Amino acid sequence: MGQISAAEQDAQQYYQARCEGSAAERSTALITRGRIEMAAGRFEAAEASLAEAAMLTRAHNLHYFEARAATSLARLFWGMGRTDEALTNLALAVELSLRYDYSYWLSTEASQSPALIRAAIAAGCAKEYLARLLPDKVEATAISVAAQSVGAGVQSGSTAIIERPNFDLAVNMLGSIEVFRNQSEPSPEDAWRLAKSLQILCYIASRRNHRATKDSLVELFWPDADVDTIAKNFHPMISHARKALNLGQVIKKDFILYREGAYLLNPQYRYRIDTEEFELQVTEARRKRQGGDAESAAQMTVEAVALYRGDFLEELYSEWAEELRSYYRDLYLEALKDLAAFYGARGDHEQVIRYGQQILQRDPYREDAHCQVMEAYVGMGNRAAAIEQFDRLRKLLRGELGVAPLPATVAKYESLIK
């Protein structure tokens, strides 16, 4: 969110709480602190923190944490122009990733520093492996430029661009569930005969890292089952999900992997997940709004709202789904509120009513939204509609909750129709 000072304070508190813990805890705290120091531009401090983490992880054979520390150092050195040191540290991380299968984690790092990855490819570091991890595309010209910058001696060649498809798999969870490999060809109707396998896919896709441990899946989907029942049902459900994702497809793809006690979406492929797109659009709109670009923020918010076909997994009644359902619904309602405020400031009463009523469709008890709509009606000269809106609110509150509108709402209404 750009609040670097607050992040540094939290990171320091985190480090102090972990500095006497296990080697894994200490290294995690050091890496966290180092990466935030890097973001703050305090490169010497970042190098000290990350180098200490690298030594600690190496001494205790904490391979995953060592890979994280090495990659963080590589990104730091790359940003400082210390190319050789950057590539040396990245090569170590790649070696650990290949040895212990940290591909998913390294792919997230690649998305943060694609130029560094391209430079490593050009320098001959695990070319095919790293090329698969690049987030969007590998440009032949970009690799040539990177090779020249590190003295790899690669000649400039074709300007052709190797493009991946927009996505290999799409999962829509806002509203009814939709899963498809190609937008024009959704999964066959009989693909998901076992509803629980589809729910497991959604759970994995909804995690921040697209990863869920086997134990967490068992606890969620077979909470009261005995060992024999779990043994008979768990693996068939996973197998069914894998088959469903390839049903009717000429090219078979292994979307669900099992690594280190967890199931995850194969990082080799690209995914379009509507919850992630929605959240990203809302977050970016807020950033633009805070930066003073209200027009762009409004446009991005409109696009985000269009992605919200309904509440998260609206047909699934489960505690884990309800938590995310509330989270995305709140984001949606706040986005609508922002749009109503934007158009209200410009005197566009019709748009205020439109977005205000959309809020009330999801949360009819929002008195602030009722006030926005009433004010817009009066602004249009439709005093009768404002009165009807207030009467509807008053009856709803009395009938459903046994209360009257808040004094502030009453005062707002009376000031509008006087």
Q: What is the reported pLDDT for 110?
A: 82
Secondary structure of residue 271 in the 3-state scheme: strand
Q: What is the reported pLDDT for 151?
A: 44
Q: What is the reported pLDDT for 325?
A: 92
Cα 303 versus chain centre, distance:
16
- Domains of the chain are 4-163 (1.25.40), 169-271 (1.10.10.10), 347-418 (1.25.40.10)
- For residues 30, 32, 36 and 38, what is the CA-based torsion angle, rounded to 10 degrees? 60
Neighbours of 296 (CB within 10 A): 15
Tokens linked to 70? 């090495």
CA distance 408 to 89: 61
Q: What is the reported pLDDT for 154?
A: 36
Closest CA to 349 of 370, 371, 378: 378
DSSP characters for 367-386?
HHHHHHHHHHHHHTT-HHHH
Q: What is the reported pLDDT for 205?
A: 95
**Residue 138 DSSP symbol:** E
DSSP characters for 323-377?
HHHHHHHHHHHHHHHHHHHHHHHTT-HHHHHHHHHHHHHH-TT-HHHHHHHHHHH
Residue 155 backbone dihedrals phi, psi, to 5 degrees? -80, 145
Neighbours of 333 (CB within 10 A): 18
Secondary structure of residue 186 in the 3-state scheme: strand
**Residue 222 DSSP symbol:** S
Q: What is the reported pLDDT for 319?
A: 83
Neighbours of 292 (CB within 10 A): 8
Tokens linked to 128? 């095919």
Strands 211-213, 256-259: pairing is: unpaired
Q: Decide: 166 and 272 in contact? Cβ < 8 Å.
A: yes
268 Cβ contact list (under 8 Å, min separation 6): 103, 132
Q: Given the structure tokens 């896919």, which residue do they identify? A: 201
Report the length, in residues, of the chain. 418
Taking CA atoms, 343 is separated from 300, 334, 337, in Å, by 14, 14, 10
**Helix 63-80 and helix 83-100: axis angle, to 10°?**
160
Q: Which stretches in the chain have pLDDT values below 50?
A: 136-165
Q: What is the reported pLDDT for 372?
A: 93
33: left (phi over 0), alpha (psi -120 to 50) or beta: alpha
Q: What is the reported pLDDT for 184?
A: 58
Question: Judging by beta carbons within 10 Å of its beta carbon (0-12, 13-18, 19+), is residue 314 exposed, middle or buried?
Answer: middle
Q: What is the reported pLDDT for 109?
A: 81
Q: What is the reported pLDDT for 333?
A: 94
Q: What is the reported pLDDT for 354?
A: 94
Per the confidence metrics, is the pTM higher than 0.85?
no
Closest CA to 390 of 380, 372, 379: 372
List the 211-213 sheet strands across, edge first.
211-213, 262-265, 256-259
Taking CA atoms, 294 is separated from 206, 288, 290, 341, in Å, by 30, 7, 8, 11
Cα 59 versus chain centre, distance:
34
